[in-house]
Structure 1
Amino acid sequence: MKRNRLLIIGQLAILIFLGSCNSDDEVLEMPVEEGTDQTYREVLDFTKDKARYNPGEEVTFSVNGTHQNTMVRYKYLGEVVAEENLSSHTWTWTPPSEDFRGYMVELVKTTGGEETVLGTVGVDVSSDWTRFPRYGFLSEFGNISAGERVDVLNNLKDYHINGLQYYDWHSKHHIPLPTDDSGNPADSWADLFNREIYFETVEGYVESAKERNMASMFYNLLFGAWHPEEGDGFEEEWLIFNDRTHNSVNKHGLGDLGDILITDPSNEEWQNYIFDEAEVVYSNLDFAGWHLDQLGNRGTVYDYNGYQVALPEAYQDFLIELNEEFPDKKMVLNAVDQFGQKKILNSPVDFAYTEVWSRYQYQDLVQVIKENYEYSDGELNTVLAAYMNYNSQEGNFNTPSVLMADAVIFAFGGAHLELGEHMLSSEYFPNTKLSMTSELSEKLKEYYDFQVAYQNLLRDGGTFNMPAVSTIGEDVTVNNWPPVFSQTAAVGKQLSDKQVVHLLNFDGLSTLQWRDDSKIQTAPKVKEGFELVIETAQVPSKVWFASPDVDGGASHELEFTSTGNKVTVQVPYLEYWSMIVLEN
């Protein structure tokens, strides 16, 4: 079948002479092998200066070269809102004033009437980062130079990471920021695992992140005490116990390092104590809020007086009081394997966060996202701490497993905590046992661009549905979610004036377990130019296509035919994830 002329999927390798914006362009035609990964790679290194923008804030773009006959095209959900000639290595653009919008910015070159996408970047215009959280982490706070910190943050900025969890930055859990007798913060201290932490490094990260509109959240348990000593002001009566007679303290053991003693989150004196310590943190470091952690189901536990403590209710009580104490600060509480999540999301937290353990299949990840949306009455978006290739101890992350997991999470409106100074492979964030290949790094940027550009379809309301879909021909088999081996799963979502159909390709995969502990996941089989039939209540006025796997996520309008209540379109390309949008 004839391909969409706008989609240039690797047929052209562009040889660019970057020295002058007036230089002639040379195009080299390359052979194409049908049905294989025609991986899109940006010809121009296209970046912007911040992770997020407030309404009315100017965006500064940069490229590493220019091309004749190249336009900068600014789009909102497939519609061009502005365009201009690319004539400089840097330029600025002020997006429309509407809040909470995502834009796709495309660099499009025209040669002989054909358009080629040379680069894309997403732009998030949101006054509150927690509306569409894209969460990353920092985990090293030793003697790190300002230049090294800037490099880390600039890399995360290019993935649009708008919030950062500062993992194990603190000293003791019950005294996160140590101070001297005058109340000044210590220059350095040891963390839980005796790593040296420098105040200057933490402070430097917080300030540099703020310049890039990246919020900094300090990590700490909501109910932990680490080696309390005389003079700390800590009381045994704040702890929870495994028995009614307070003989057996509930602890989280860390081997030779000792135990974290667990406190009762609903104990008013404990709340006052730890809130005072949080005030010390906020007075000395400009953190945007507190990333609170728990330790999962602790079993049946009791307070000092022998009364049973229902931890989910205790979490809710703590969070309500915390919000009263610091109404201008953000907060989020990790629901370890969903423990206590319903009560947590009925508290004034700013987004949903789940550390996934016992949910093994792709459909289980989706179920967590849906649960969180339901528990929060459709108000909060989800971040999943889902650790890829968890049991693998060396080498690289498996690219197909990471991309397939992100495709599923993003298509259902979630975000994936996975990026920091390195990619995350375990619950101990400083662990660097696995590395990203350059291929994975490049492809993930396209996925994050896509998540930002189309956030108003992916993460801004709507109702998931199951549109009747089918294909013409035998090359592609499409069924509704959940996934089935050797098939493509269709995921529908209805918004006020749009029907979205996500296509998630499970044909060619070796496992439906997202974590892929042994790195056995294989890449899906690429599909091109197949006809998709969608039943719809009314004839659409427009149909368009976009995929993070091709053209950097740039949108392309599709021709379609309508017969009765069925619309037929030709899907140009499907690798991991493609999106079709029918506009009413």
Structure 2
Amino acid sequence: MKKRKFLLLAPLALFMALVSCNNDDDALLSPIDEGVNMSYSEVLNFKKDKAKYNPGEEVNFSVNGTHQNTTVRYKYLGEVIEEAPLTGTSWTWEPPSEDFRGYMVELVKETDGEETVIGTVAVDVSSDWTKFPRYGFLSQFGNISASQRADVLNNLKDYHINGLQYYDWHFEHQRPLPLDENGEPAETWSDLFNREIYLGTVEGFIEQAQERNMASMFYNLLFGAWKKDEVQPVPVEWLMYNDRNHNDINRHILSGFGDIQLTDPANDEWQEHIFGETATVYENLEFDGWHLDQLGNRGTVYNYEGYKIDLGEAYKDFLISLENRFPNKKLVLNAVDQYEQEEILEAPVDFAYSEIWSRYQYQDLARVILENYEYSNGELNTVLAAYMNYNAQDGNFNTPAVLMTDAVIFTFGGAHLELGEHMLSSEYFPNDKLDMSMDLRNNVREYYDFHTAYQNLLRDGGSFNFPAVQSQDVDVKLNSWPPVVGQAAVVGKQLENSQVLHLLNYDGVSTLQWRDDSKIQREPLVKDNFSITAEAGRNVSKVWFASPDINGGASQELEFTQSGNQITLEVPYLKFWSMLVLEY
């Protein structure tokens, strides 16, 4: 078993109870014009060369031009740790040696004594990508050139995607990598939907991902045997049945493409077979691990001998055996709609992964992440497969819906599986029916910069709490999470030397349902320069502000006054999501 360190999340049960206390959209408010919508875009196209960096590894930066009187400012959680003048279009920086740190690097131009942020980029220094997983996907493995692969990976690198799920790259579930008569991998094969897969493309993606410090995880079911013709793919004794007399095989029907027969995950012979096939994959392709999938609640199921199968225990047994067989490879198993997640997270997986179906509201996304914290004793971070604008058939994704969903997931310490060759809108990853507008691309990049730069506040321990926060402005209404239409929700988090206050804005929105199937979600009403009073609890030494919606997520120190346990300050800006940090 992999060792785990307990992180304190003391008020979690209370927080989860409050997260689930409001299940309906409130009456919608008429929109009111207020606040100034301050759009932000990069001036110098500021980039770095890898998705993450190992301790001691240099970061290579680039910009597409220079401006006079511009400073490169390196920050850790709002504190300047180094700065230097911008003198060219490329340079290197060696971050501090500490492991598992996120940094924000700002390009700040001074004009007549006034500073303007003209570029930001985050840097993640982590020896293990699964500590702060930012998961993406690949779904096209045809005859794709090296330059085309580089374009895809460079784009994902700019979003700091540090792990990739290779979706439907394989041949058959029970035989993922086909071999020729000489025992060598086939040059091409067809997946279960008859798409042609090229070995060289899979190999090329893995190699080029390694160059960018991006991990590669191969996708496969943990209990699938694809039956596309009359030939039985595996012995019937390995299969899972809907009856005690092994007459009705439990299967997933693929109309026109055959069936996936499901095996008993705890069957020793099935495990030996699929582990042998997995060894073949690892011997021929440098995958970093296995992204395992299941198919949700299968009802009451039996093995060939007629005994009822406890799928949660079977999953755990399979994962423990798999980790023992391949101790140096990463493991993650999709908990479809949280099915058997508690048992899965008792096994040696490297992070939690939840595909969301029946949890419809923003507060439900938070609850799933909190459940996963609890099931893993506060250790594992979560990736949510949450498909946006699911029922929409064409056009662009709705930008407000995507950003509001990301804001909730990121606030509660999760990550969102949504980026690959395109943005995800369904569980079949090659489906690219919806497009990302340029505005959405730019905004999501700022959100991923923010998510990465401040990962030590967002995803590195701490306890969610409920400090009292009140607005001094009659036009700004605040409430503790969960969200209420017409107000901004406050999410508190207590860390050792700081209190974090997240403000998530739901004033002016049209729904509290995150998926936004009909693309009706509206932008919330912007608030700026409004005063709040917050419960501090201790003497505050510094307050700073940052938001992915303004200045590229750059931090800004704020003035404040403190009287006893109360602190008063002015919040510069709130569109979708803003963060305040009170340091002690």
TM-score norm. by structure 2 comes to 0.94
Match of 1:429 in 2: 429
CA distance in 2, matches of 1:373, 1:182: 47
For residue 565 of structure 1, report the CA deviation from its aligned partner. Answer: 1.2
CA distance in 2, matches of 1:46, 1:491: 31
Match of 1:217 in 2: 217
5 Å-filtered alignment, 1:106-125, equals 106-125=106-125
Amino acid paired to 1:307: Y
Change (3 A) 1:189 1:435: same
CA distance in 2, matches of 1:539, 1:177: 61
CA offset digits 1:365-395 (Å, max 9, x no partner): 0000000000000010000000000000000
For residue 481 of structure 1, report the CA deviation from its aligned partner. Answer: 0.1
Match of 1:470 in 2: 470
Match of 1:543 in 2: 543
CA offset digits 1:220-273 (Å, max 9, x no partner): 000000027899972110000000000000000111112100000000100000
5 Å-filtered alignment, 1:2-401, equals 35-227=35-227, 234-401=234-401
Amino acid paired to 1:285: L
Is the CA contact (8 Å cut-off) linking 1:539 and 1:567 kept in structure 2?
Answer: no
Match of 2:3 in 1: none
Amino acid paired to 2:173: H
Ranges in structure 2 where 5+ consecutive residues have no aligned partner:
1-32
Quote the sequence identity (%). 70
CA distance in 2, matches of 1:200, 1:75: 41
SS of residue matched to 1:363: helix
For residue 38 of structure 1, report the CA deviation from its aligned partner. Answer: 1.2
CA distance in 2, matches of 1:171, 1:68: 56
CA distance in 2, matches of 1:230, 1:132: 45
5 Å-filtered alignment, 1:405-424, equals 405-424=405-424
- Please, which moves more after superposition, 222-231 or 191-200? 222-231
CA distance in 2, matches of 1:500, 1:129: 24
CA distance in 2, matches of 1:258, 1:143: 26
Is the CA contact (8 Å cut-off) linking 1:546 and 1:553 kept in structure 2?
Answer: yes
For residue 540 of structure 1, report the CA deviation from its aligned partner. Answer: 0.4
For residue 156 of structure 1, report the CA deviation from its aligned partner. Answer: 0.1
Q: What do you get for the CA RMSD once the two structures are aligned?
A: 1.1
Is the CA contact (8 Å cut-off) linking 1:36 and 1:525 kept in structure 2?
Answer: no
Q: Which runs of 4+ in 1 moved over 6 A?
A: 228-233
* Larger RCO (CA under 8 A, 6+ residues apart): 2
SS of residue matched to 2:256: helix
Amino acid paired to 2:189: W
Amino acid paired to 1:284: N
CA distance in 2, matches of 1:42, 1:526: 21
TM-score norm. by structure 1 comes to 0.94
Amino acid paired to 1:441: R
CA offset digits 1:253-296 (Å, max 9, x no partner): 11111210000000010000000000110011100000000000
Match of 2:439 in 1: 439
Match of 2:24 in 1: none
For residue 152 of structure 1, report the CA deviation from its aligned partner. Answer: 0.1
Amino acid paired to 1:357: W
Is the CA contact (8 Å cut-off) linking 1:228 and 1:234 kept in structure 2?
Answer: no
CA distance in 2, matches of 1:330, 1:81: 34
5 Å-filtered alignment, 1:461-500, equals 461-500=461-500
5 Å-filtered alignment, 1:491-570, equals 491-570=491-570
Is the CA contact (8 Å cut-off) linking 1:292 and 1:334 kept in structure 2?
Answer: yes
SS of residue matched to 2:44: coil
Amino acid paired to 2:307: Y
Is the CA contact (8 Å cut-off) linking 2:229 and 2:258 kept in structure 1?
Answer: no
Is the CA contact (8 Å cut-off) linking 2:373 and 2:381 kept in structure 1?
Answer: yes
Q: Tell me the number of residue pairs that the alignment of Structure 1 and Structure 2 aligns.
A: 552
